[in-house]
């Protein structure tokens, strides 16, 4: 039966009114309903650009200690002033922001990779392997992480660099990801598609890589943001205690030197204020990204959207 133009017109209009289901359209629609994610990514990108584009406008050599400049408040020549070591604090921020982000991303990546590997192994294999990994993780979670990190950092203080500090933090950053990934795998391995893959003769490695890991990617993205936030917080805490890289102007070490020279009591607000403001901005950005990723990682929010 041939449809009349009177009927075809409204149907065609309704089809044209349907939302775009292409990848770009889906991405734009997701960004429109998740302003937190867009704002958080913009903040993180802005901080990354400070490290990438900042040296084009600021002489980062002035971030090194020198006796040529006295302690001066902000001025036209030195927008953020100088400290007792003669360092230009704007140059210190330009050098310190990417170093702090490097510690966070490196420690978060290594910790998450270890946690995911142990969680997949424990959750899918089960048995004595699951029991051994679960007991180790539960035991380590009861130990104060900061105390362990302080002990390790104090033991190798003379060898601490940015990369070494990231690896020290990563040595404990895997505990929580391993636990939550294991709980996710315990539910995924009972799904019908995993059972079909097992009955079809697919080996364990292929099942994990092809069937389980792709369904964990949204959850892993949110977990990575949390791991980076933990790593940055731990690094700033250790550096504020003087256990960070002494020759690298990270944000935490800038705060340490401000404490060491009593900048707060002396009223040198331009020494400790800017790094604290940048750290707070960084955590706000990570929090917004984590909130925006909840729709992907949380099936209930995804269904509501």
Phi, psi of 184 (to 5 degrees): -70, -40
Indicate the number of domains in the chain: 1
Q: How many residues does the chain have?
A: 305
Supply the pLDDT for residue 303: 53
Q: pLDDT band for 10, please (50, 70, 90 cuts).
A: very low
In-domain check, residue 2? no
Across residues 256-269, what is the average pLDDT? 88
Strand partners, 88: 82
Domain CATH code at residue 165: 1.10.3720.10
- Averaged pLDDT of the chain: 83
No. of helices (H) and no. of strands (E), the chain: 14, 0
5-20 in b/e form (b: 16+ CB < 10 A) is eeeeeeeeeeeeeeee
Residue 15 lies in a domain: no
Contact (CB, 8 A) for 111 and 227: yes
Q: What is the DSSP string of 122-179?
A: HHHH-HHHHHHHHHHHHHHHTS-HHHHHHHHHHHTGGG--HHHHHHHHHHHHTHHHHH
- Give residue 246's pLDDT band: very low, low, confident or very high (50, 70, 90): confident
The reply to whether the predicted model has a pTM over 0.75 is yes
Please report whether residue 272 resides in a domain: yes
210 occurs within a structural domain: yes
Q: What's the pLDDT at 194?
A: 82
Domain containing 291 equals: 50-304
* Comparison of pLDDT for 189 and 256, the residue scoring more: 256
pLDDT at 14 over 80: no
Mean pLDDT lowest among 13-27, 34-48, 130-144, 151-165: 13-27
pLDDT category of residue 256 using cuts at 50, 70 and 90: very high
Least confident range from 12-16, 146-150, 296-300: namely 12-16
pLDDT mean over 187-204 = 82
C-alpha 49/C-alpha 52 separation (Å) is 5
Q: What is the pLDDT of residue 17?
A: 46
- Is the pLDDT assigned to residue 109 strictly greater than 90? yes
Check residue 69 and give its pLDDT. 63
Tokens of 9: 């017109």
pLDDT digits (tens, 9 = 90+) for 206-241: 888 888 888 888 788 888 998 999 999 999 999 998
DSSP string, 253-293: HHHHHHHHTTTTTTT-HHHHHHHHHHHHHHHHHHHHHHHHH
Residue 163 within a domain: yes
10 Å Cβ neighbour count for 80? 19
Q: Is residue 150 assigned to a domain?
A: yes
Decide if 11 is inside a domain.
Answer: no
Is residue 3 assigned to a domain? no
Query: How distant is the alpha carbon of residue 231 from its chain centre?
Result: 8
Confidence of residue 8 (pLDDT cuts 50, 70, 90): very low
């Amino acid at each position: 039966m041939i449809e009349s133009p009177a009927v075809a017109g409204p149907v065609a209009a309704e089809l044209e009114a349907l939302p775009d289901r292409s990848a770009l359209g889906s991405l734009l629609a997701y960004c429109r309903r998740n302003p937190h994610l867009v704002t958080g990514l913009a903040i993180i990108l802005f901080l990354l650009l400070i490290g990438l584009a900042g040296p084009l406008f600021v002489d980062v050599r002035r971030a090194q200690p020198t006796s040529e400049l006295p302690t001066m408040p902000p001025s036209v020549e030195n927008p953020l002033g100088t400290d007792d070591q003669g360092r230009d604090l704007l140059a210190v921020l330009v050098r310190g922001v990417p170093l702090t982000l490097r510690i966070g991303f490196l420690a978060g990546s290594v910790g998450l990779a270890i946690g995911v590997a142990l969680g997949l192994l424990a959750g899918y294999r089960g048995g004595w392997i699951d029991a051994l990994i679960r007991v180790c993780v539960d035991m380590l979670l009861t130990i104060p992480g900061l105390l362990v990190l302080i002990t390790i950092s104090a033991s190798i203080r003379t060898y601490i660099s940015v990369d070494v500090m990231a690896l020290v933090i990563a040595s404990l950053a895997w505990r929580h990801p391993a636990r939550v990934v294991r709980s996710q795998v315990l539910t995924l391995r009972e799904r019908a598609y995993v059972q079909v893959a097992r009955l079809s003769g697919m080996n364990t490695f292929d099942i994990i890589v092809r069937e389980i890991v792709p369904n964990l990617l949204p959850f892993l993205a949110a977990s990575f943001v949390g791991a980076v936030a933990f790593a940055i917080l731990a690094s700033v805490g250790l550096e504020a205690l003087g256990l960070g890289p002494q020759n690298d102007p990270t944000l935490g070490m800038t705060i340490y030197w401000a404490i060491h020279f009593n900048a707060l009591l002396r009223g040198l607000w331009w020494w400790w204020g800017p790094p604290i403001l940048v750290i707070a901005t960084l955590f706000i950005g990570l929090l917004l990204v984590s909130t925006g990723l909840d729709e992907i990682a949380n099936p209930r929010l995804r269904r509501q959207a």
